[in-house]
Chains A and B, each alone.
Chain A
Amino acid sequence: MSIQPGEKLVFGAPSTLSDRLTHYCPGCHHGIGTRLVAEVLEEFGCIKETIGVASVGCSVFTYNYIVADWVEAAHGRACATATGVKRARPDRMVFTYQGDGDLAAIGFNESVQAANRGEHITVIFVNNTIYGMTGGQMAPTSLIGQKTTTSPRGRNPKKEGAPLRMAELLAPLDGVAFSARCAMDSVAHVNAAKRAIRKAFDVQRQNLGFGFVELLSGCPTNLHMDPLSANRRVREEMIPYFPLGVFKDVTANEKAGA
């Protein structure tokens, strides 16, 4: 975008973000999450030494938006592939960007085991309680009673179990240096998400362990809502079940202990 005479640029995109339209639906929060990661990588000045690991789902095309070297992982295996990348190149910043079906269902084992090994990688986990790319099926994080194309009567905890709270599940593992849950439904929440993402990359920079941020997101298309209603759902239905907060921060403990 060029600045015309008499115009002043008051808000731009980070240089780490490509200048192209995303494939995300209107009202989807993926665009915000992708941008926040791009901003942090720009601020850390490490984009030239960064390797992204793409997942499968709506998140797959993140490699089209964050300008860096990328390798595409199989569905759910991003944390295993990132393990291989980081072990081969421990001097590089390595991150994954995954959705809920990818990280918490098919890739649950790879995710938890990488976290438990304390792999020095950063994992950004977008939780919108539904499979987006495949058209709205039940996710491991779908809320109780949530109707999806594969839970037409609503998620029944007696049959489908309760939604997985990944940020809390990972936090107690010794290998995890940082685990937080944030949301992207309001400016205040987006700002908090940015701080958490910074931290999740910072613990990698310091070789402290696994950095994890769960980002609650709307999915208007598959929830059959307009964007504002999907936003409201994050606040009124998701956050009560998926509380926001930092569940582990080894740097905070160090400070407290000092």
Chain B
Amino acid sequence: MSDERILIKGNEAVAYAAVSAGCKCFFGYPITPQNEIPEVLSKILPESGGEFVQAESEVGSANMLLGAGACGVRAMTSTSGPGIDLMQEGISYMIGSQIPAVIVNMSRGGPGLGSIDASQADYFQATRGGSHGAGRTFVFAPSTCQECYDMVQDAFDIAFKYRTPVLVLGDAIIGQLKEPVLRHAPRNKQDDKAEGWRVEGMGDRAPRLLKSVYLEDGALAARNEMLEAKYKAMRADIRVETIDTEDADLVVVAFGSMGRIARSAVQLAREAGHKVGLFRPQTLFPFPSEQLEELAKQGKRFLVIEQNAGQMLDDVRLAIRHYADADFFGVMPGIFVDAEELLTPILERMGGAK
């Protein structure tokens, strides 16, 4: 595929990225605000030799995903918050059975039916392991359409590298926003190395079983120790974007769509002569705690901005707890803010200096 710059929505970027990354199966159920993902894939995935299935529910999607992933095939589903609720069962089984898959959540407001507007209130659900039994998923947080494209490509590599479901957590803003996106073949596509574990029919080797049940004495404990070690190993793939943090007195911490608005607000503060920087986690689990702690050691202050009542705030506080505390500015899901509105709380924390 030759590189090509096109103007598309974040949702469309997700769909194109999946096909370019070699996704062979997509299972999904309609829900706003992510419908362009299955709509585009229902056209282009079969054209590229893949399978598109509109499932009966998100329960169906997630468990179909488990089946395709068990075959060592690159497979994906997409949904929005309420659909993730229903997928938690399948996600838990995929974690337990070590089955790779990509799950996109273009989240919306809640609880309950909530709204179809943007929300970052699924942070806890995404990063704490939304299902029973302590499982965690790797979580990417794109803040541009280009990042939707690049991170979905990378999500497949991460899924197979760690044999785990990977979440891509966007929201209504990221999904519906249109931006120029450079479509490209995966930059460093990894070898999935699925030959050693996938189910495929045993041929002449010993039979294989992918399962999550461990009833023998100590077996589940050993399984969970292995999984915990895997979550630690995932820290090698932590990503974060920092802007002007070196000389900053105040570091604004924000992710996803609020991360991009905060970037503009930080720019405005700089233009007004304030030493403000931006710390934008691009992976939410594992969380860039060490990088934040380094900044805290330098005596910087922190302001967390999220479109919820304070969720990532917990991770920031845990990361910097020996050296600093974090202040918080929350925007309720469904409320749209611009950079000017985020500038106010930033300037307040700067004590009107300059």
Binding site for B on A (CB under 8 A): 47-51, 53-54, 60, 63, 67-74, 77, 80-89, 92-93, 109-110, 113, 117
Contact = CB atoms under 8 A, between A and B. Distances in A.
Contacts of B201: 48-51, 68-69, 89, 92-93
A48 B204 CA distance: 7
B59 interface: yes
A84 B213 contact: no
B68 A88 contact: yes
Give the interface centre of A51, A60, A74 by most chain B CB atoms within 10 Å.
A74
A89 B200 CA distance: 8
B106 interface: no
Contacts of A74: 63, 66, 89-90, 93
Contacts of A80: 55, 59-60, 63-64, 67
A12 to B, nearest CB: 20
Given A70-B209, A71-B97, A72-B211, A85 B55 contact: no
Given A83-B64, A84-B65, A72 B209 contact: yes
A72 B212 contact: yes
Contacts of B71: 51, 84-85, 88-89
B21 to A, nearest CB: 16
A84 B210 contact: no
B67 A81 contact: yes
Contacts of B63: 73-74, 77, 80-81, 84, 110
Given A63-B211, A69-B208, A84 B200 contact: no
A72 B202 contact: no
B202 A88 contact: no
18 contacts: A51-B199, A54-B211, A72-B213, A73-B63, A80-B55, A80-B59, A80-B63, A81-B63, A81-B66, A83-B60, A84-B27, A85-B68, A85-B70, A85-B71, A87-B67, A88-B75, A89-B73, A89-B200
B59 A51 contact: no
A110 B56 contact: yes
Given A83-B53, A88-B71, A110-B56, A71 B207 contact: no
A91 to B, nearest CB: 9
Interface string B191-218: 0000000011111100111111100000
Pairs A-B, 3 closest by C-beta atoms? A84-B67, A84-B64, A77-B63
A67 B207 contact: yes
Contacts of B207: 67-70
Contacts of B24: 88
Interface string B114-149: 000000000000000000000000000000000000
B325 interface: no
B213 A60 contact: yes
Contacts of A92: 200-201
A73 B51 CA distance: 20
B57 interface: yes
A256 B275 CA distance: 85
Nearest to A78: B63
Contacts of B64: 80-81, 83-84, 87
Contacts of A67: 202, 207
Contacts of A86: 67
Most chain B beta-carbon neighbours within 10 Å: one of A53, A81, A82, A84: A84
B333 interface: no
Contact of A109 (B27, B60, B67, B209): B60
Contacts of A53: 67
Contacts of B70: 71, 81, 84-85
Nearest to B26: A87
Interface string B44-79: 000000010101110110011111111101010000
B8 interface: no
Contact of A68 (B55, B97, B202): B202
B269 interface: no
B167 interface: no
Contacts of A60: 213
A74 B73 CA distance: 19
B67 A70 contact: no
Given A54-B211, A72-B97, A77-B59, 18 more contacts: A49-B203, A53-B67, A68-B207, A69-B209, A70-B208, A70-B210, A74-B89, A74-B90, A77-B90, A80-B67, A83-B64, A84-B69, A85-B71, A88-B51, A92-B201, A110-B56, A110-B59, A110-B63
A69 to B, nearest CB: 4
B132 to A, nearest CB: 11
Contact of B66 (A49, A68, A84, A117): A84
